[in-house]
Amino acid sequence: MSDKPARAIKLNVLNEPKDSYTGGPSSLCPGCGHDQISSVIINAAWENGIEPHRIAKMSGIGCSSKTPAYYLGQSHGFNTVHGRMPSVTTGAYAINKDLLYLGVSGDGDSASIGIGQLIHAIRRNMDMVYVLENNGVYGLTKGQYSATADVGSKKKKGAVNETQPIDLCALAINLGCTFVARSFSGSKKQLTSLIKAAMSHKGFALIDVISPCVTFNNNDESMRSYGYVKENEITLHMADYIPHFNPVEEIEVPEGHFRDITLHDGSTIRLETISEEHDPADAMAALTALHEAETTKKHVTGLLYFDPTKPSLAEDLGLVEQPLIDVPDEVLRPSKASLDALNAEFLA
């Protein structure tokens, strides 16, 4: 017997260790914001007590889209094609609506080549978590500006960007997206709460995460460098996530004002007011906050907009209760009698 005392292993509500939620080693640049997000995803899924095999990891193409290999090794995943992850996810969802679809995308993937698919997935209120790892540059092709690069920002090499960026949060709010948040890969606590809340949401949850590219866009003149974001982040509120399986009484009640928002699975996201109170039900307030941040060259983070009332794609499809994947072949194929009847009617 060893003399060492037994090491305490933390288990989640399913009695699973965190190891059940990890993935392979990352091949991204050391210090990449995306790796921080991967670790947040691992924590969020573990702490939320989601069975790993019930998660589907979806991605497109780019640095961000490689990350599903680095988390949730016990989940099936699909690293699809550039900008088209939403459609593949939609098709998979139609067949198996019981999985938790966790999409990861980048700003090249989502703001340029795949902006159409992103828009239409939002429009359908496709039931998924969409984590956008947003660094303003294309990494794998070595540092070209993306469509989210801020005006006046300058990457490591090349000229200052003068082209108007696409703010995907503003776009999503205008499209009626039912869960819109912005965060920063360096704000681990806020990001964890937001990702957990997104997992509890039924409908399209967009989390636009500023995730600095350490190789091509982390210089002082860049508005998406670690240094710049830390200095210029406007946090709308502190965010705490209270899972439905945890009695609320155990959670420390913060001082000052807070707003509790109940999510579809009964969990709560608690938004603690910092200065002015932000009402996530108010789309105009969210758009104003985004606009003000842009004009003052800041980044606003938090749960910008939330609408639990809209039906998600599942309701629109009008399908049977059980996921289609579980419908037996004998039910999928109509009976011989039905074909005999059709033939007879055609002949009549």
Residue ranges in contact with other proteins by CB under 8 A:
51-54, 56-57, 68-69, 73-81, 84, 86-96, 98-99, 116-117, 119-120, 124, 317-321, 324-325, 327, 329, 331-334, 336, 338-340, 342-343, 346-347
- Pair 101, 93: CB distance under 8 Å: yes
- Pair 83, 113: CB distance under 8 Å: yes
Choose between 78 and 258: whose C-beta lies nearer to other proteins.
78
Q: How many CA atoms lie within 13 A of 120 on its CB side?
A: 11
- Pair 281, 287: CB distance under 8 Å: no
Choose between 93 and 305: whose C-beta lies nearer to other proteins.
93
Choose between 26 and 246: whose C-beta lies nearer to other proteins.
26
Beta pairing partners, 205:
129, 179
DSSP readout, 258-277?
Answer: EEEEE-TTS-EEEEEESSS-
Closest separation between CB of residue 106 and other proteins, Å? 16
Closest separation between CB of residue 321 and other proteins, Å? 7
> 28 CB contacts (<8 Å, ≥6 apart)?
34, 35, 63, 66, 67, 70
Closest separation between CB of residue 299 and other proteins, Å? 30
Closest separation between CB of residue 52 and other proteins, Å? 8
Closest separation between CB of residue 171 and other proteins, Å? 15
Closest separation between CB of residue 160 and other proteins, Å? 34
Choose between 57 and 224: whose C-beta lies nearer to other proteins.
57
Choose between 151 and 339: whose C-beta lies nearer to other proteins.
339
CA angle 143, 148, 149 (to 5 degrees): 55
Choose between 91 and 247: whose C-beta lies nearer to other proteins.
91
- Pair 193, 254: CB distance under 8 Å: no
